[in-house]
Structure 1
C-alpha cells in the first residue's frame, strides 16, 4: 500500500482524481489532500508520503516549488497538468511521470503501476534526485533541454545530450548510443525523444533512427542516401526524409561556421 497525497487548487480536479484512485487503484491510500503548495508542505511534514499527485499551474506557488521538499521526503512525483509545452518537454526529458487533464483511467493505472515499481525497488535515489534538480534548472532557465534522464531499469542515468551519437528504435524501446561507447536501452518509443531533443541538433532520418548532427562525419548517395557517423555507424536515410535531412545539414553547417 502506498501513501499518497493530492495537490491541486481546483476542487473538481481534487475530487475527481480522488474518486478515480479509490475506484481503480487498490494499492493507493490517500493520506491527505491539499489545495496549495503550502498545505502540501504541511502534509509532507505530518505523514510518510510515498507518492505525490502534483498539479503544476496553481496560484501563488506553482507545483515545481514543492520539488525540494519532495526530494527530502523521497516521495515519487506524478505531475497532473494541462500545462504549457515547454514544461511538458522538460518533464519528459527527466523521465518523470505526468498525467494530462482530463485524466484518462488507463494512463492513471499505468502511472501508478510504474510508481509502485520504482518505489518498491528504491534504487538509485540519488539519480532520481538529480533528475528533479535538472528539471528545476530547465524550468527556471527556460533554455533548451541540455540533459535528459534515462530510466535504465535499475535507476536513472542523467546524460548530456551532447554525448548522444544516435538513437535507434527497437519495437517499443529506444537504444541510446553514447560517445563513451555505452548503450542504454529505455522503454520509450523514439517519437518521445524526437519531441524532446533540440531540432537544430538532432534529426530523425528514418522511422528507426535519430542522429546527432554533431557526430555526422559524411553522407553519400552511393546506395541510396546514407549517413556515416564519427563512431563508424552507417545509417540509411529514408527517401521521404532525405530532402529535410539535406536542408537541415545545410542550416546546421551554416550555423556552426557562423559560431566559429
Structure 2
C-alpha cells in the first residue's frame, strides 16, 4: 500500500514535534518534510509532491490562506491546525474541510487521517475554492453557497434554497426547494454554528428553519413552512422564535 506523503507546516516547535510524533504513529502516513513559514512552505510545495498537508493557520510571516492563494491546482488534501479562530473555522466548515484544534487530540487526529483517502480530487478543489472565496469576502449572505458532505458525495447548496434542517443523531437532513433532501454526515449543531443567524433560527433541538420560508406560526407551538412542513417550537424557545419573527426586530 502506498503511504500518504505528508508535509507539516507549523511554526511552534512544540506543536511541530507533537505532529511529527502523531504522524509516526499512523502506518498510512509518511513524513516527507516540515516547514515553519509561508515562504519556506511554498518553496517545499513547489519542489515536492504531497498527498496531505497538516497546516497551521497562523504562521509567523502570514497565514495558511497566503499559501493557498498562491496555489492554482493543488493535488493534496489539507487538515488545518488552529488554536481556534472563529472566522477561520467558519470558513473551513463552509468548505467542508478538516481541521484540528490545539492541543491536538490523538483520537481526533486518527479520525481525520481516516477521512483523507475518502475525498476525491475534484471534490477537494471545489472545497478549496469555497475556502478562498469565503476568506476573501469575510461576509456571507443568502446568495452564498455551502459545500455539504453527504453520504456519497460533496454537494453544493445555495443558502436561499434551504427550507429547513432536521437533525437525526450524527446526521442532518437538509430540506431544499423542489422537494429535494440532502442527508449530511454532520450533526445539526455543526450547521447551527455556521448558518447566518439573521436568516436561520433554531426552533427545537432537532430543527433549524429558514425564516424566508415560514408561512405562519401557530399558537399551538408549530411553525408551518411554505412547503406545508410543520416544524415544532420548543416551549423554552417560544419567546426567542416569536422575537425573531417580528418584522420590526
TM-score by length of 1: 0.89
Counterpart Cα distance in 1 of 2:123 and 2:24 = 31
Question: Shift of the alpha carbon at 1:69?
Answer: 5.5
Contact 2:80 2:99 in 1 (8 A): yes
| Residue in 2 that maps onto 1:199 | 197
> 1:42 maps to which residue?
43
Is it true that 1:229 corresponds to 2:230 in the alignment? no
- 1:17-96 → structure 2 map (5 Å cutoff): 17-23=19-25, 25-68=26-69, 72-96=73-97
Deviates most, 129-138 or 5-14:
129-138
2:18 corresponds, among 6, 12, 16, to 16
RMSD: 1.6
- Unpaired runs of at least 5, structure 2: none
CA contact (8 A) 1:2 1:50 kept: yes
Relative distance call for 1:52 and 1:158 in structure 2 (3 A) is same
Q: 2:13 matched to 1:2?
A: no
Q: 1:152 aligns with which of 132, 138, 150?
A: 150
CA, structure 1 residues 113+70, in 2 after alignment: closer, same or farther (shift >3 Å)? Answer: farther
TM-score by length of 2: 0.92
SS at match of 1:21: helix
Aligned residue number for residue 100 of structure 2: 99
Mapped contact 2:166–2:188 kept (Cα < 8 A): yes
| 2:208 maps to which of 200, 207, 210 | 210
Higher helix share: 1
Distance in 1 of aligned mates of 2:172 and 2:72: 28
Residue 163 of structure 1, aligned match among 153, 161, 167: 161
Shift of 1:67: 2.0
Instruction: Provide structure 1 residue ranges, at least 5 long, that are not aligned to the other structure.
Output: 256-260
Tell me the SS of whatever aligns to 1:180: helix
Which residue matches 1:247? 243
Count of residue pairs the alignment pairs up: 245
CA distance in 1, matches of 2:178, 2:148: 16
8 Å contact kept, 1:57–1:83: no
